[in-house]
Amino acid sequence: MAQFSQEFAPLPIEAIHDEALARKAGGWRYVQTLAVNTEAGIDLVYSYMKDGLLENLVAKALPAGSTVPSVTDQFLAAFVFENEIHDLFGITFEGLAIDFGGNFYRVAQKEPMTIISPELKAAREKAAKVAAAKAAKEAAKVDRAEKAGEAQAEFLAAHPEAKAAAKGGRVFTPSDDEAVEAKLAGMDPEKVARVRAAIAAKAKKAAEQDAAKDAAKDAELEAKLAAMDPEKAAKVRAAMEAKAKKAAEGAAKEGE
């Protein structure tokens, strides 16, 4: 008795008819065509047998309502399976030798076959809606953040004192105050103007305080330099000037 075995292999959708032609020429026997409803689409499984080997060729993920070539011109017995798949899964077979025109089965609804229960289907549809709502919410959040960033950029352009309110050029970026900007976006314009004025005044005051501190430090340093040996003091001043120049060049590059 010959040993039976079976194999599975992929089948490109466009090669369905050519494969049937080759199998017929090679002496293979047509066994069946099955349809399987999956998350990705509808799989068609074409089974051919020869010398104890059953080969199952799978055309994967056909969209609902797809049209594929019929193999009934090579294997007439396939008309049963193709009519069934048409009525129960909604796949159309072009060139079907015996076409029942959608009346092979009497069904209560069109294309009723499914691998999931109505409850599970409802749960999946609900999950899809929740995921879509979440994605929309995240997109809206990003949009608000972008608008807040644009508003902050405009504010900083109109108030230079807020851009570098501390020594070393500490910059207020849009991300520093996105929550505040989001709140301002929904306020009365007059109130927004007052809030922005207060922010600008606070930044200006901080800048003035930092300037006063810098002046005090400079005075203290000058007093120390005055007490140094003149040659050493000159070296210290040169080093400080070089450092300041390097910092200014770095700030200029960042601003470009």
Domain boundaries, the chain: 5-115, 142-255
Residues 4, 53: Cα–Cα separation, whole Å: 6
Tokens of 163: 């851009």
Tokens of 60: 């994967």
pLDDT, position 167: 39
pLDDT, position 163: 54
* Sign of the dihedral defined by the CA atoms of residues 187, 190, 196, 202, in that order: negative
CATH of domain 5-115: 3.30.460.80
SS3 65: coil
Residues 136, 110: Cα–Cα separation, whole Å: 33
Residues 57, 16: Cα–Cα separation, whole Å: 9
DSSP label of 164 = B
- The residues with which 10 forms a beta bridge, in sequence order, are 58
* pLDDT means over runs of 10, the chain (256 residues): 85 96 97 92 96 96 94 97 93 95 77 63 81 87 74 65 49 54 67 75 78 78 77 78 76 62
Beta strand extents in the chain (DSSP E only): 5-10, 29-37, 42-50, 53-62, 67-69, 92-94
Tokens 């199998």 locate to 23
Residue from 236, 216, 220 nearest 228 by CA: 236
Residue pair 20/75 in contact (Cβ under 8 Å)? The answer is yes
Tokens 């949009």 locate to 143
pLDDT, position 105: 80
| 38 Cβ neighbours under 8 A, 6+ residues apart | 61, 115
pLDDT, position 83: 95
Residue 82 carries which side chain, given as an amino acid letter? Answer: E
pLDDT, position 75: 98
Residue pair 184/192 in contact (Cβ under 8 Å)? The answer is yes
pLDDT, position 171: 47
